[in-house]
């Protein structure tokens, strides 16, 4: 009896089964799992293809090839670069915070920062409408100095004021800091060649000077007198820690 040729349906099923097998092998090669002869062969083939024909894996198909020497060296160099960058950044921050930290107690340190801020106002006031770049650069410096100063006061000194019962003083100073940010915003958004620039700057300086007089002549001395030497020392440390964050 003659053997019948496989029907169209049977051929179709056979072709589908074969395709499924190929797909399984392909999926296995991408996941690296083992699951029979065909799967292992597929995984080995893919690994060999990735490594340019040489089997990179030392054992079963489930193990991935370790980083090549070049990749490992590059990762090592990048990690070393990040570490060097972090150390350099810590050194830079320490240098920025040093004048404040070396100035002494928290109140003396803040006084030194007030004086440095007034010098930046002096420099800005010598500029003309032609010095637009210089104005932008000095304004950037002023903004950074005031942001660091505000963080030190708002995160360390003003809470200590409230703790010592000077709630009204702390709230008043904090409100004045809000207008410091407003002046910075106004100046930043003003054309640097504007004839109104210096007038706004002088208004800002007057606001800062009033605020500084309140802190240095009245509010801070009262707080310092209330705190024990240990508490003053702790406040100095906390203030420097806050300053370091933005240094
Ligand atoms: Fe202040
Ligand atoms: Fe201040």
Q: What are the tens digits of pLDDT across the range 57-93?
A: 444 445 565 567 788 888 888 888 888 888 888 888 8
When mean pLDDT is compared across 31-45, 135-149, 198-212, the lowest value belongs to 31-45
* Closest listed residue to residue 120, CA positions, set 195, 180, 190: 180
Mean pLDDT (whole number) for 225-244: 97
CA separation, residue 216 to residues 150, 204, 208 (Å): 15, 18, 12
pLDDT value at position 104?
A: 83
> In angstroms, how far apart are the furthest CA atoms of the chain?
119
* Greater pLDDT, 12 or 208: 208
Within 10 angstroms of residue 57's Cβ, the number of other Cβ atoms is 18
Mean pLDDT (whole number) for 223-234: 97
* Closest listed residue to residue 104, CA positions, set 245, 240, 246: 240
Mean pLDDT (whole number) for 7-26: 44
Q: How far is the CA of 226 from the centre of ligand 2 (A)?
A: 19
Please give the CATH topology (third level) of the domain spanning 95-246.
Answer: 1.20.120
**Pair of tokens at residue 72:** 């490992």
CA separation, residue 188 to residues 30, 98, 102, 132, 135 (Å): 55, 28, 32, 11, 10
Q: How far is the CA of 203 from the centre of ligand 1 (A)?
A: 17
DSSP 68: P
239: confidence class by pLDDT, cuts 50, 70, 90: very high
pLDDT value at position 64?
A: 60
Q: Which ligand is nearest to the CA of 117?
A: 2
Q: How far is the CA of 147 from the centre of ligand 1 (A)?
A: 10
* Greater pLDDT, 101 or 15: 101
pLDDT at 100 over 80: yes
Mean pLDDT (whole number) for 160-166: 98
Within 10 angstroms of residue 124's Cβ, the number of other Cβ atoms is 23
**Pair of tokens at residue 90:** 């810590």
Q: How far is the CA of 191 from the centre of ligand 1 (A)?
A: 27
Q: How far is the CA of 201 from the centre of ligand 1 (A)?
A: 18
Q: Which ligand is nearest to the CA of 111?
A: 2
Q: Which ligand is nearest to the CA of 110?
A: 2
pLDDT at 19 over 50: no
Q: How far is the CA of 186 from the centre of ligand 2 (A)?
A: 21
Q: How far is the CA of 23 from the centre of ligand 2 (A)?
A: 71
Q: How far is the CA of 233 from the centre of ligand 2 (A)?
A: 18
With b for 16 or more beta-carbon neighbours within 10 A and e for fewer, the 126-159 pattern comes to ebeeeeeeebeebbeebbebbebbbbbbeebbbe
Listed by start position, the domains of the chain span 95-246
Q: How far is the CA of 241 from the centre of ligand 2 (A)?
A: 16
pLDDT value at position 83?
A: 85
């Amino acid at each position: 009896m003659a053997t019948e040729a496989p029907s169209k349906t049977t051929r179709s099923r056979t072709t589908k089964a074969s395709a499924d097998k190929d797909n399984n092998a392909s999926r296995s090669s991408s996941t690296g799992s083992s699951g029979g002869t065909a799967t292992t062969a597929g995984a080995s083939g893919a690994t060999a293809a990735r490594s340019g024909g040489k089997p990179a894996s030392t054992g079963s198909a489930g193990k991935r090839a370790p980083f090549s020497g070049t990749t490992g060296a590059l990762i090592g160099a990048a990690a070393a670069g990040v570490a060097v960058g972090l150390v350099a950044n810590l050194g830079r921050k320490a240098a920025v915070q040093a004048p404040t930290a070396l100035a002494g107690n928290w109140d003396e340190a803040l006084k030194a920062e007030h004086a440095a801020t007034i010098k930046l106002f002096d420099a800005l006031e010598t500029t003309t409408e032609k010095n637009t770049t210089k104005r932008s650069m000095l304004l950037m410096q002023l903004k950074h100095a005031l942001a660091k100063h505000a963080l030190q006061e708002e995160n360390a000194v003003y809470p200590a004021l409230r703790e010592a019962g000077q709630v009204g003083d702390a709230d008043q100073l904090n409100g004045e800091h809000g207008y410091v940010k407003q002046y910075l915003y106004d100046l930043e958004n003003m054309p640097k060649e504007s004839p109104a620039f210096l007038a706004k700057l002088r208004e800002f300086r007057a606001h800062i000077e009033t605020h500084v007089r309140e802190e240095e002549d009245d509010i801070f001395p009262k707080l310092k007198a209330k705190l024990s030497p240990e508490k003053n020392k702790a406040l100095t440390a906390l203030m420097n820690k806050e300053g370091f964050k933005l240094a």
